[in-house]
Structure 1
Amino acid sequence: MVADESNYGWNGRFERLHFKVAWTVVPAGRAVIQARQPEPDRARFKIKACTNQALDVFHKVRDKILARTRLTGDGLRAHSYRIIRREGDDREKKALRFGDGGLVHTKDLRTGKTDYFPVESATVDVLTALYATRRRALEDGQKIRIPVFDDEQSYDLVVDVVGRERLDTVFGEDTPTVKVRPRLKTDGVFSRKGKLWVWFTDDRRHIPVRMESEIAIGSVTARLTALHRAAGQDKPGACR
C-alpha cells in the first residue's frame, strides 16, 4: 500500500541532519544531509561526507552530492544531480539532468564527455530516493520499488521494510524506529561492497537516525547527532 505522501517524511521546510561516522568501532568522520525548499514546487537535497584527520592518512574521503528535485502531485521528480567524489585515489565529478522525455543527460565534468540514457519518466537519483522512501508509510514486510538512475545504470531500487526496533538515539533512550534495507546496486558516499540498512524514526517524520553499510573491510555506521530546522543555526561538525 502507498500512503498519502503528504503525511510522511520531510515537511518541506529546512532540515539539516548531522551524523558521526565510525568504521567498525573507530571514529572515522562526519556526514551532513540537508534539505531545503527554495520555491514552492522545488527542493534541494545535499550530502557532504568526510573522514577525520586520523583516517585521512589512510583513506581520505571528501564527497559532496547535490540534487535538485521537483515537488509534484505525483511525488518527487528528479531535476538534476551533481556528485563530486574523492575517496582515496578514486575521483569522480559528474552532472546529470533528468529530462521530461524519459532521458537522462550525463556529463563527466573532468573529461567533458556527455551521454544520454533512456529511463522511466518517474526515475530519480539515489539521494532523492532517500526522501521518496521517507514519504512512504513503511509497513512491516513492505517492498518499495523506486526507479533510480546512478552510475550510468537504470534499475528498480527495492527497499525492504525489515521491521521495528528500539534504539538509543539523539531523541532519547529506547526510541521507536523502523528498519529498512535499500538494495542499491551502485556505490555511493563511503563506498559500499555489501548490504546497507537504514533506521528511521517510527513516526510521520521518518528521520534517519542510523545507517550501516558493509565495505571491503568491516562496516561503516553513521549515527545522527544533531538536527537543525533553521538555516541560520550552527553547523557543528560540517565537512570542509
Structure 2
Amino acid sequence: MKHYSFFSFSGVAVLAMAALLVATGICIPLWSQQSAPQQIPSLPAPRAGYTFPSKQTFTYAVDWRVFPAATAVLHLEEDGPREHLTANADTLGAINLLFHVSDKFQSTFDREKGCTTEFDKQTVEGRRQITSTLKLDYAEGKSILDEKNLTTGQTKRLEAGIPSCVTDLLTGVFYASSQTMTVGKSFDMPVSDPLKTVTVTMKVEGREELKLPAGTFKTVRVEPTAEAGVVKNRGQIWIWYTDDDRHLPVQMRARSFWGTITFRLASLENK
C-alpha cells in the first residue's frame, strides 16, 4: 500500500516550487532517470546589488487544513563563494502519531550566480527511509544521483543532462528572492526536478498584507507554474514574499484534492 505524506517538509518542495522540496504533499515516486533537457535556458543571475543572507534562520508553523501538523526550520549561511541552505521538518501532536515524518535537506549553491552544486536529503516518512545526494557537474553538463533505501538496502545511481546553471526545488524558493518582482509580470527559473530539468514560471499576482505569528508583513503573492515535473498537476501553489528588496518568503501554501497545507513564518532570526 502506498503511503501519502501530507505533512512532510518534502511537501515544502511542492509548496514553493511545488512547494519547496522534493516530494510534495502527496508522495512523489522515487527519482527516475530522465532524458536530457530540451531548450531549457540557464538560470538568470541575481539582480544587481542583491546578496544572499550571510546568516538567517526561518521557522515556519505548518498547518494541514485546520490542524497544526509540523514545524519546519530553514537556515541559510554564507561559506565563501557558496551558500548553504539547510531545512529540517518534523511532524507534531496528533499528526505525529498518525504518520511520523522527520526530514532533513541540504543544498549548496553559488552565491554569485545562484547555480545549485549539490542537494542532499534524508527522509523518514512512516516506514520509508531514504538518503540521497544529487550532484550537479556543470563542467560535464550532467547531474548525478546516488540514492539508498535504508529500509530495503536498495541503492541506485542515475545520471542526466543539465543546462549550464539550474536551481533545485528547495533553493529555488530562496533564489527567487534575488529576482525583480513586479505585479502583473513573471520570471522563469530552470529547476532540477531532480533528474529532469523543468522551467518554472513565477507569476507575480498581487499585493497582500499578512498577519503571521512572526508579525505583520506587506507582501507580493507569487504563483509557481510549470508544464512538467513536480509543479504540474499538483493543484495551486502560492508563495508570499515581503514587498521590499529582501523578498523574504513569509508564507507558502499548496491547495489540492487532499486539502490545504500552509507554512506561516513563526520567527526570523539573523543567526
Alignment of 1:27-38 (within 5 A): 27-38=68-79
- Quick one: distance in 1 between partners of 2:100 and 2:236? 22
- Quick one: distance in 1 between partners of 2:46 and 2:115? 16
User: What secondary structure sits across from 1:109 in the alignment?
Assistant: strand
Return closer, same or farther for 1:18/1:200 CA change in 2, 3 Å cut-off.
Answer: same
User: What secondary structure sits across from 1:57 in the alignment?
Assistant: helix
* Paired residue type of 1:62: S
| Residues 76 and 86, structure 2, Cα contact 8 Å, conserved in 1 | yes
- Quick one: distance in 2 between partners of 1:126 and 1:211? 14
Unaligned runs of 5+ in 1: 231-240
Unaligned runs of 5+ in 2: 1-43
| Residue 228 (structure 1) aligns with | 269
Give the RMSD, CA atoms, in angstroms: 2.1
Alignment of 1:35-54 (within 5 A): 35-39=76-80, 41-54=81-94
| Residues 143 and 195, structure 2, Cα contact 8 Å, conserved in 1 | no
Aligned residues: 220
Alignment of 1:132-143 (within 5 A): 132-143=175-186
Task: Tell me how far 1:92 sits from its aligned partner.
Answer: 3.0
Alignment of 1:70-149 (within 5 A): 70-72=110-112, 75-100=113-138, 101-110=140-149, 111-149=154-192
| Residues 107 and 114, structure 1, Cα contact 8 Å, conserved in 2 | yes
User: What secondary structure sits across from 1:183 in the alignment?
Assistant: strand
| Residue 222 (structure 2) aligns with | 180
- Quick one: distance in 2 between partners of 1:163 and 1:199? 10
* Paired residue type of 1:146: M
| Residues 148 and 157, structure 1, Cα contact 8 Å, conserved in 2 | yes
User: What secondary structure sits across from 2:155 in the alignment?
Assistant: coil
* Paired residue type of 1:141: G
| Residues 163 and 178, structure 1, Cα contact 8 Å, conserved in 2 | yes
| Residue 160 (structure 1) aligns with | 203
| Residue 15 (structure 2) aligns with | none
| Residues 19 and 226, structure 1, Cα contact 8 Å, conserved in 2 | yes
- Quick one: distance in 2 between partners of 1:4 and 1:194? 29
- Quick one: distance in 1 between partners of 2:68 and 2:93? 10
Following TM superposition, where does structure 1 have runs of at least 4 consecutive aligned residues deviating by more than 4 angstroms? none
TM value normalised by structure 2: 0.75
Deviation string, structure 1 residues 112-165 (Cα, Å, up to 9, x no partner): 311110011112211221122000111112222111112422211111111111
Over the matched positions of the two proteins, sequence identity in percent amounts to: 25
TM value normalised by structure 1: 0.84
Deviation string, structure 1 residues 30-72 (Cα, Å, up to 9, x no partner): 0011100022x11001111111031012122211110011123
| Residue 213 (structure 1) aligns with | 254
* Paired residue type of 2:168: D
Deviation string, structure 1 residues 165-187 (Cα, Å, up to 9, x no partner): 111135644x2100011226327
Task: Tell me how far 1:91 sits from its aligned partner.
Answer: 3.8
User: What secondary structure sits across from 2:111 in the alignment?
Assistant: strand
| Residue 236 (structure 1) aligns with | none
* Paired residue type of 2:164: S
Return closer, same or farther for 1:6/1:86 CA change in 2, 3 Å cut-off.
Answer: farther
| Residues 3 and 137, structure 1, Cα contact 8 Å, conserved in 2 | no
- Quick one: distance in 2 between partners of 1:154 and 1:37? 26
For structure 1, which segment, 56-65 or 163-172, has the greater mean C-alpha deviation from structure 2 after superposition? 163-172
